[in-house]
């Protein structure tokens, strides 16, 4: 190779520059190709060319979401209405005899002395176990065993079977001395328990218990012994 006097026409000197320019052009083309491919995936109906947007509309696409039109309604059936006139109408008479003829609006209303006002029910206070003066059987507590011995009837089934025992009964002596809320605390046998409840329920009125000088409701317990001689 003949060496030239000037380097202006020597292409070997600009080889590196041309190589870099070509590499930049290739990278630009590759980048543009990736952008076009990504845009085509994002919107298949749009194509970019020369910085202008073209919209692709496909006319042959059939939408499956469109519902068919509803069927036409049935024709209305017209019926002839026939009005029948009634000549024998029912006669309506006003009610005038609201009161019997013997009723006198000016008569005096009789007085009813036997009508008593109804007293409202009040909640009773709970019974107490210990008071200043305990309830007392009529005739004194010494008369209670005599009364029980006279009134208690030994049940025949228990007598035949030889059943004995002591039935503990609890009851309430009310403020007027009556007996209520009779129940068996320690049952022995069904017939013996029923007989003890019967006898105590038929007690005469006791002397009520008192607390601070006023009658109060008091719990009371009595053991009834059933023995065979």
* DSSP codes, 137-203: -TT-TTHHHHHHHHH----HHHHHHT--EEEEEEEEE-TTS-EEEEEEEE---HHHHHHHHHHHHTP
Q: State residue 178's pLDDT score.
A: 94
Q: Please report whether residue 162 resides in a domain.
A: yes
- Kindly report the CATH number assigned to the domain that includes residue 206: 3.30.2420.10
Q: Please report whether residue 188 resides in a domain.
A: yes
Question: Backbone phi, then psi, for 154, in 5-degree steps?
Answer: -70, 125
Q: Please report whether residue 102 resides in a domain.
A: no
Q: Please report whether residue 61 resides in a domain.
A: no
Q: State residue 124's pLDDT score.
A: 81
Q: State residue 132's pLDDT score.
A: 93
Residue range 57-102, pLDDT digits in tens: 444 444 555 667 777 766 555 555 454 554 554 454 555 555 556 6
For residue 110, CA distances in Å to 103, 107, 113, 117, 217 come to: 14, 9, 10, 17, 42
Half-sphere exposure of 102 (CA within 13 A, CB side): 0
Per the structure, the count of domains in the chain is 2
Record the pTM: 0.47
Q: Please report whether residue 169 resides in a domain.
A: yes
Q: Please report whether residue 60 resides in a domain.
A: no
Q: Please report whether residue 74 resides in a domain.
A: no
Residue range 99-118, pLDDT digits in tens: 556 666 666 666 655 556 55
State which residues form the domain around 152: 143-226
Q: State residue 202's pLDDT score.
A: 94
Q: Please report whether residue 173 resides in a domain.
A: yes
Determine the distance from the C-alpha atom of residue 150 to the mean position of all C-alpha atoms in its chain, rounded to a whole number: 56
Task: Give the chain's residues under pLDDT 70.
Answer: 1-13, 37-67, 73-122
């Amino acid at each position: 190779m003949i060496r030239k006097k000037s380097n202006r026409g020597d292409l070997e000197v600009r080889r590196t520059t041309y190589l870099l320019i070509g590499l930049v052009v290739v990278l630009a083309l590759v980048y543009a190709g990736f952008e076009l491919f990504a845009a085509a995936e994002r919107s298949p109906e749009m194509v970019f060319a020369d910085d202008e947007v073209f919209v692709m509309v496909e006319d042959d696409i059939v939408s499956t979401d469109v519902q068919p039109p509803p069927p036409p309604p049935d024709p209305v059936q017209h019926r002839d209405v026939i009005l029948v006139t009634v000549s024998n109408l029912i006669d309506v008479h006003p009610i005038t005899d609201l009161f019997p003829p013997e009723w006198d609006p000016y008569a005096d209303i009789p007085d009813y002395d036997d009508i008593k006002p109804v007293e409202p029910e009040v909640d009773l206070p709970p019974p107490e176990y210990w008071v200043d003066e305990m309830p007392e059987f009529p005739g004194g507590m010494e008369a209670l065993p005599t009364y029980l011995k006279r009134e208690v009837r030994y049940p025949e089934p228990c007598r035949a079977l030889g059943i004995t025992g002591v039935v503990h009964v609890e009851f309430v002596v009310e403020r007027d001395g009556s007996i209520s809320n009779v129940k068996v605390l320690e049952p022995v046998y069904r017939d013996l328990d029923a007989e003890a409840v019967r006898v105590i329920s038929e007690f005469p009125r006791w002397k009520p218990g008192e607390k601070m000088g006023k009658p109060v409701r008091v719990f009371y317990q009595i053991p009834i012994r059933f023995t065979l001689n």
